[in-house]
Structure 1
Amino acid sequence: MVDTSAAPLDAEAAAKAAFAAAQSKQFPSDIFTAPQLRWAVIGCGVIANQMAESLALAGRALAGVQNRTLAKAEAFSASHGVARVYGSLEELCSDPGIDAVYITTPHNTHITYLRACLAAGKHVLCEKSITLNFAELDEARELARAHGVVLMDATTILHMPLYRQLVARAKAGDFGRMNLAQVSFGSFKPYDVHTRFYNRSLAGGAMLDIGVYALSIMRIFMESAPTEVVSLGNTCETGVDVAGGLVCRNAEGQLGVISLTMHSKQPKRAVISFDKCYIEIDQYPRADRARIVWTEDGRVEEVGAGEEAYALCYEMADLERAVAGDQDAARLIDYAADVMRIMTDARAAWGVVYPEEE
C-alpha cells in the first residue's frame, strides 16, 4: 500500500505554517523574562523577516535595520514597523540607542560585522554558521570578552525549550548513560553554481548550511566535546562539499554518527540512544516535540516543550538573559565553538577552502 501522507514541508514553508498557526494564540509570558534590549538587524533576507514576524507575535519590534542595499532596508522598515534605517554599518554601530544586533547576512560576511559590532560595544546574536571557521570564532569571542558584551550563536538547536528540557533530564540521570547519536539531514538543492548552496565565494556547501544543525544536536547530548572525528566528504566542481559523513567520539566513549547531503531529500531526524531509552526527534532544527521509547517495556512517552513559531524569539530571549547574568545562557557559545572546531577540521580534511581562508 502506498503512503499518500504529505512529506514534511521545507524549512521556509514550515516556518510560515507555524507563524500562521500561532496568530490566534496568546504569546507565552515565560519567553522574554530578562530586561528588554533595543535590537537592530543586519540583512533583510528570509531569516530577518522571520525574526520581525516572530517579534510581532510578542508585541515587540526591531529598533533598527541596516542592509547593503538601502532600498531593501527601507522596504523592510516599512513592512515591519522598524523605527530606524541605517545607511551604513558605521552609522548603526555608533548609535547609542541600539543595545544588540542580530546578524543575518551570508556566512562569509559574518566576521566583518562581528568585528565592527562587538568593538562598538553591541551584544551580538549571529545567524548560523556563526563564522567560516574556528579561528574567526575565537577572534570574535575574544573581542566580546575585551568589550564586555555577549556573543551568541543563533543555531536554533541551542535555544529551543524542548532541548533544554531533554538535556536537563539527561544530566539528571533519567535516561541513563548516553551512548550514541544518529543524526541525518538531507536537502535537495538543484545544482546552480550561482546560488549560495554551491557557490564557493558565498561559503556554500552542506557543512556550514546544514551540518551545523546535526552536529549541534549531537553535541548538546554528549558529556564533552568529541576528541576523535573521522569523516568522508564529496565535493562538486565549485569546490564546496555537497555530502558528508562523520563519526565522532569523545573521552567518555560516546559516539555521534552524522550524515549530510544537498543532493537528496531525507528526514531531518535525530535518534539519541541511552541505556534506558532512545529519543526520536523529527524536523529537529526547530522541534517542539519528541518521542521517548523506554527500553525495558517499549513504553512511548510523548514530550513537548515550546513552539516552533517562537524559535527566533527563544534565541533573542537567551541573549537578553545572558546579558542579564544568566550563566547557562552565556555558556551556549561553548557548544557553538565545539561544533565549529569539528566543521573546520572536517572541511580541511576534505579540501574545502573558501577564498577568505586562502
Structure 2
Amino acid sequence: MSDAYLPTAEIAALKARAALTARVRSFFEQHDYWEVETPLLCRESVIDAHLDPFELILSANNATTSERFFLQTSPEFCMKRLLAAGADRIYQITRAFRKDEAGDRHNPEFSILEWYALDDDLVSQMSFVEALCRELLHPDGLRAKSFLRVTWADAFENVLGIQILELDAAELMEFCLQTIPDAVPSEHAGIDEGWDFWAQLLLCERIEPWLAEQHAVFLYNYPASQAALARLSPEDPRVAERFELYVGGLEICNGYRELLDASVLRERNALENAIRVRQGLSDLPETRHLLAAMEAGLPDCSGVALGLDRLIMLALKRDTIDQVISFPIDRV
C-alpha cells in the first residue's frame, strides 16, 4: 500500500513546530505587538515580476458577472491598510501562495510570519529579527556567534572586488561573461538583459556561496531597482532601505522601511507589470486599496516578512521543508 497518505514530517517534528510557533507568538506579545488576521483571497495582489499569484475567477456578493481574485503572496497590503486605520505594532502568522515554487526549500503554499511597527527604522528591525532568531535557533550555539551586517554593494566588493553600483549593464554583462561564463545561459550570452539580470546572476553564483560560509548575514541597502515596496535611502538614492537575512546561506526574511508615496508605487507597479507582460505573464490589477490607504496617510513604518517554515527548518536542524510541514504539494 502506498504511504502517500502519510505526512512527510514526523509527528515529533510537528509537535516541536507547534511549540516553536507558540514561542513566536509569546515573543511578539512580549514586545508589544498584537496579532491580526487578514484575508487570503483578495481582488488585488502584490505586483511583482518575480512573484506569480494563483488566480481564481469568482462571483462575489451574488454578482452576475465574474471577477478576478488572487490568493495572497503575502498579507502585506491588508496589514498596511490596518496601519493606515490606526494600528501600531501588528504581526500575523498566516498562509501565503506563490506559483512555480516547489523544492527542498519551497512549497507553493507556505507559512509566513509578517509584522509592521510604526516609527521603527531598518536598524531597529534588524536587531529585532536577530533577537527572534536567538530566541528560536539553538540559543546556546548562537550566543557566541555574531550576525554580520553588510551592505549589498559591499558584499560584491568584498567577494569580487567590484564597485557594482558604479557599473552599467554592459559593463556588468562583460564582467559576468569573463568571471562566470559557464553560468551564463547560452540564450543570454552576449545579450544585454538589463542590469538586474546580471547582478542577480552574480549574486546567485558568487555572493550566495560566500553567504553560506557565514553564520548569519544581514544584506541591506539593496539597489533602487530592487526596492519593491521599500523607500529609497535619503542618503543615497541609488539604494533602497531594504534588508534580507541569510542564515547558513538560507534566506530567511525580507525587511523594508516602507514606501509611503502612492505616486512612486504607481510607477513601480506599471514597471513591474510591463516586465511581467514581456515575460509572458498576465498583468495584475492596480493596487487601489493600498494606494488609497497610502494617500489617506500611511504612517512612517517598517515591516518584515519571514518564511516561518524555513525558520522552523533551521530550529529543528532539518534539511528540507517537507520535514517540517505535514503535507507538501506532492501529498495533497
TM-score of the two chains, using structure 1 as the length reference:
0.23
Query: Which has the higher relative contact order, 1 or 2, with Cα contacts under 8 A spaced 6 or more apart?
Result: 2
